Structure 1
Amino acid sequence: MPAFPTLFAGTIWQTNFTVIATIFFTGLVMFILLRIAVARMDMRRPRGLQNLMEWAAEFTTNMARETMPTEQSVRFVLPLAFTMLLFLFIANWLGLIMTISVHFGVHAHVWGLKPSDLAGSNGDVELFDSPTSSMSMALGIAVMVWVISHARGLRHPKQWFKHFYSPSPLAVIEEITNPLTHGMRLYGNIFAGEALLGIMLKAPFAFHWLPWQLPLIVLWLLYSGFVATIQAYVFSILMCLYIGNKSFEGHANH
């Protein structure tokens, strides 16, 4: 398993620098795509990237309307759902498009890494990867969704307290485990896909020259790309469901 450059090593604020950098890179890619899409808007004949973004916005709107109880809650969740869907789609694909790593001697002291860290990774240090292949990143956005959903529910305290006991008191356990399952599902699928791809890429050639693993790599890339896309949708629709279940406008709860 590769090591990652670390900020504030040895403290409670220890941070994976690669994850932080790729989060900002994903945001930059989003900004550029959206800026290009609206640069030359044609309301009568949308084409190219504008057409794609309009389709994504319509898809997200339908997803929100299917999971939210009222039009008011749809308007609340729609910007977040569109941003989350696009962000996760780009983030999940990053590690499939490109990974960058460097190799150091196992006794080096670089980027906040100790020799023991480098020994565990055989000297490989990852500089570019999917941010969602990090457990802390996936669980972080899952906790963010959990906080937003309960903050919205607390706008109607009586309904919010009541939903913990309906249909049974075990709903409390479900509420506690929701962010864990929400984040781990995303992390597990993205990490597993990239880990197996890395193993295939490092596999030795047959007879020292025949790349026998090439067809497997192509098939796995296609499958992983499908999974990366599906996981962006699954995370986003679950986010809408969690927020919708705690949107009590008009005493609507489903």
Structure 2
Amino acid sequence: MPAFPTLFRHTFPINLTTIAMIFLTGLIVIIVMRVGLRRLDMRNPRGLQNMLEWAAEFAANMARDTMPTEQAVRFILPLAFTMLFFLFVANWLGLIAIVAVHIHHPIQHWGITPQDFAQSKGIVELFDSPTANMSMTLGLAVMVWLLAHARGLRHPKQWLIHFYKPSPLAIIEEITNPLTHGMRLYGNIFAGEALLNVLVSAPRLFGWVPLTLPLTIVWLLYSAFVSTIQAYVFSILMCLYVGNKSFEGHQHH
């Protein structure tokens, strides 16, 4: 397992690679949005604008399928579109490239201890998917959980009642939801990249062609599919969790 540059290792460890990749993902999203919407053509959208409009419509349909009212749809739609786009880019970054360096001794100011150095065999990862980090995905899941309950607390009476209907097990479900929400995304992305690293590290023909090249291509295509699906799964579950606590719409069910 590779090591990562880390701040405050002995108090509150911060993975600098993950932080940098989160900012890079956000920057890519902003640039794509800016370029795609720079010259709006309302009558004949083309190219990147057309793709962004399709993605926005897809997010809108996803929100309408899970939210109880149109008011709730308008509330969640900006976040649903942003989350879908952000996770799509984040999940794909590690498939496009994984950058690592080989060091010959521990580097304390990078937060790489002798134990990390021995475990990673001197390999320090500088570029991968931010969603391959469990802290990042669980952080997103906790954010969704807090948002859902904040919206539910707009109707305190119904918010309290929903913990007892249909059973008290709803309390346990509230605890497990953010865990499974974040762990599902992390597990799929991390496993895909880990196996890809193993395949790429296989013995090489002529010194540069991995013997596992056909299997690597197949796994890369499969991982690309899984990365796309996981962006959708996380986003639609976010809409579902928030929709379940948008109590103003329950009278319509």
TM-score by length of 1: 0.96
- The superposition leaves residues 146-194 of structure 1 with CA deviations (integer Å, 9 ceiling, x where unpaired) of 0000000000001001111111110110011000000000000000000
In structure 1, runs of 5+ residues without a counterpart are: none
Matches within 5 A, 1:178-197: 178-197=177-196
Find the counterpart in structure 2 of residue 52 from structure 1: 51
CA–CA distance in structure 1, aligned partners of residues 208 and 219 of structure 2: 21
Find the counterpart in structure 2 of residue 17 from structure 1: 16
**Cα RMSD (Å) of the superposition?**
1.5
Find the counterpart in structure 1 of residue 123 from structure 2: 124
- The superposition leaves residues 6-64 of structure 1 with CA deviations (integer Å, 9 ceiling, x where unpaired) of 012222x2200000000000000000000011111110110100000000000000000
* Cα pair 2:5 2:17 within 8 Å, conserved: yes
CA–CA distance in structure 2, aligned partners of residues 79 and 107 of structure 1: 44
* Cα pair 2:68 2:250 within 8 Å, conserved: no
Find the counterpart in structure 1 of residue 6 from structure 2: 6
CA–CA distance in structure 1, aligned partners of residues 106 and 42 of structure 2: 60
Deviates more, 1:100-109 or 1:70-79: 100-109
Partner AA of 2:93 in structure 1: L
CA–CA distance in structure 1, aligned partners of residues 252 and 130 of structure 2: 34
Aligned pairs, number: 253
SS in 2 for 1:77: helix
SS in 2 for 1:101: strand
* Cα pair 1:106 1:122 within 8 Å, conserved: no
Find the counterpart in structure 2 of residue 147 from structure 1: 146
CA–CA distance in structure 2, aligned partners of residues 193 and 101 of structure 1: 17
CA–CA distance in structure 1, aligned partners of residues 204 and 21 of structure 2: 31
SS in 2 for 1:203: coil
CA–CA distance in structure 1, aligned partners of residues 224 and 151 of structure 2: 34
- The superposition leaves residues 65-107 of structure 1 with CA deviations (integer Å, 9 ceiling, x where unpaired) of 0000000000000000000000000000000001111011244
1:32 aligns with 2:9: no
CA–CA distance in structure 1, aligned partners of residues 252 and 24 of structure 2: 38
Find the counterpart in structure 1 of residue 203 from structure 2: 204
Deviates more, 1:244-253 or 1:180-189: 244-253
SS in 1 for 2:167: coil
The alpha-carbon deviation at position 211 of structure 1 amounts to 3.1
CA–CA distance in structure 2, aligned partners of residues 182 and 253 of structure 1: 27
The alpha-carbon deviation at position 250 of structure 1 amounts to 4.3
* Cα pair 1:134 1:187 within 8 Å, conserved: yes
Task: Tell me: CA distance 1:232–1:210, structure 2 relative to 1, closer, same or farther (3 Å).
Answer: closer
TM-score by length of 2: 0.96
* Amino-acid identity (%): 70
